[in-house]
Amino acid sequence: MSVTTRRRFAAVALASVAVLAVTTACGDDGDEGSSGNEQIKLTVDIFGEQGFGYDELIKKYEADHPNIKIEQRGKGMGLGDYNTRLTQWMASGAGAGDIVALEEGTIVQFKAQKQNFVNLGDYGAASLESNFLPWKWNDGKAGDQILGLGTDVGSMAICYRKDLFEKAGLPTDRAAVAQQWPTWDAFIETGKKFQAKSGKVKFVDAATNTYNSILMQTAGNGTGYTYYDKSDKFVLSSNPDVKTAWDLTVKAIEAKLSAGLQTFSDPWATGFKQDQFAIVTCPAWMTGVIKGNAGDAAAAKWDIAKAPGNGGNWGGSFLSVPKQSKHPKEAAELAKFLTTPEAQLEAFKALGNLPSSPKALEDPTLLASKNDYFSNAPTGEIFGAGAKDFKPVYLGPKNQAVRDAVENALRSIEQGQRTPAQAWEDALKAGEAASK
């Protein structure tokens, strides 16, 4: 970005000279770090409605390190837009912040280009392992490289409509509800009971949500991986855990338990208001989604119970330092600071992001926290337990693309376009294509 290049270019683009004169006045030169100087500016890229709850932590860090200025970017940006930007920054080798947040689905993809990220192990992160849940620590690693440090986790529970359960003659108390479904088989049986009396209301919103929850749990207890084995060999057709989760889900579809909505679509959002389903598999962050979609009218109707089986996870993020950063050392220090158990607890207090640190998950304030929208369910306790019970599952580089293929196949059964056998063939074929 030298001055000469710019000048030469301006000379070439004769016609645009006037325009340049007008517009160079608007906007500044971004983050051209003046490396070597004592004053350092670090940029932290995050996403989500409110960001990651780092405002106070950053103030504190700046106070303790007077030579460092920190800028947060991306508050209010959705994950999809954020990932598009991030992908382009990483592909073109410029533009990314000194620290970038990687969501669990995103970090898997970026493990394939770990050479573009700093190994945080080079900056003393290796000793921090005990700060994190074991599976979270593992997910942040690409081979021996420590690619990302865990921030929050999603955990897993079941959000359900008490009023609809009552109408269908099921218990409504959260402990009693959880007792209905010690296993996923029992969950489906409960669904059948529900369906027998509920009429048009379906048990679950989408079969894909059920499928993903079952798969992650089954794989955690079984092979420890899903579509790729730990040497990144594509094993969709041979992994028994995938087939188990698939078959259970097909059973649920055939029992007509699913409303067949595509998650996060507009019809799905409408489904909350129209009482189209009684259950959503919910990680901690989903509580906000449900509240937003269902609105105040449904306030006291929702509650949260433990999920079938033992634990689960959906979502949560990591902090990484791209090689592009001009201040990898300072960035790594900041990333370490932002992911300490104490910092995670601060973020929880600020925004309710569930910590990935076992120590923070034991904290009394966290355990005592309740969610009033969900009939005062003890969310800290329920989600904390779900996260701790979860067993690590290895995800391969193109996990998301393969998962889309399998989910599409499941939805084609829901739509009545395919028989389960045909859909399984589709899944194998499309998954194979996606894995390349």
User: At CB < 8 A and 24+ separation, what contacts does 7-14 make?
Assistant: none
- By CB under 8 A, the residues from 70 to 109 that bind another protein are 73-79, 81, 83-85, 87-88, 90-95, 109
Nearest one of 325, 360, 323 to 339, comparing CA atoms = 360
Nearer to another protein, 367 or 433 (CB): 433
Nearer to another protein, 85 or 136 (CB): 85
Which one of residues 48, 220, 316, 328 is an interface residue with another protein (CB under 8 A)?
A: 48
Nearer to another protein, 162 or 403 (CB): 403
Q: Is 310 exposed, middle or buried (0-12, 13-18, 19+ CB in 10 A)?
A: middle
Number of residues that bind another protein (CB under 8 A): 91
Lay out the site mask for another protein across 406-425 (x = CB under 8 A, - = otherwise): -xxx-xx--xxxx-------
Minimum Å gap between C-beta 371 and another protein is: 16
Minimum Å gap between C-beta 182 and another protein is: 29
CA gap 159, 285 in Å, rounded: 12
Segment near another protein (CB under 8 A); pick from 141-149, 186-194, 333-341, 397-405: 397-405
Q: Is 125 exposed, middle or buried (0-12, 13-18, 19+ CB in 10 A)?
A: buried
Lay out the site mask for another protein across 221-260 (x = CB under 8 A, - = otherwise): ----------------------------------------
CA gap 433, 402 in Å, rounded: 8
Minimum Å gap between C-beta 71 and another protein is: 9
Which residue in the block uniquely carries the two structure tokens 């902090």?
A: 319
DSSP character at residue 404:
H
Q: How far is CA 334 from its chain centroid?
A: 22
Nearer to another protein, 59 or 273 (CB): 273
List Cα–Cα distances, 133 to 16, 361, 366, 386, in angstroms.
56, 10, 16, 12
Segment near another protein (CB under 8 A); pick from 118-126, 165-173, 174-182, 402-410: 402-410
List Cα–Cα distances, 185 to 79, 174, 252, in angstroms.
33, 19, 9
3-state SS class at 399: helix
Q: Does 329 bind another protein (CB under 8 A)?
A: no
Nearer to another protein, 76 or 182 (CB): 76
Minimum Å gap between C-beta 364 and another protein is: 28
Segment near another protein (CB under 8 A); pick from 41-49, 331-339, 369-377, 378-386: 41-49
Minimum Å gap between C-beta 326 and another protein is: 14
Query: Cβ neighbours of residue 369 under 8 Å, at least 6 residues apart?
Result: 352, 378, 379, 380
Sign of the alpha-carbon torsion through 52, 56, 60, 63? positive
Minimum Å gap between C-beta 393 and another protein is: 19
- By CB under 8 A, the residues from 110 to 169 that bind another protein are 112-113, 115-116
Minimum Å gap between C-beta 251 and another protein is: 19
- By CB under 8 A, the residues from 261 to 320 that bind another protein are 262-274, 276, 285-286, 288-289, 292-293, 295-297
114: its two tokens:
């770990």
| DSSP-assigned letters across all residues of 112-136 | GGGGGB--GGGGT-GGGGGGS-HHH
Nearer to another protein, 268 or 302 (CB): 268
Query: Cβ neighbours of residue 155 under 8 Å, at least 6 residues apart?
Result: 283, 284, 311, 312, 313, 314, 354, 383, 384, 386, 387, 390
- By CB under 8 A, the residues from 9 to 38 that bind another protein are 9, 12-16, 19-20, 22-24, 26-30, 32
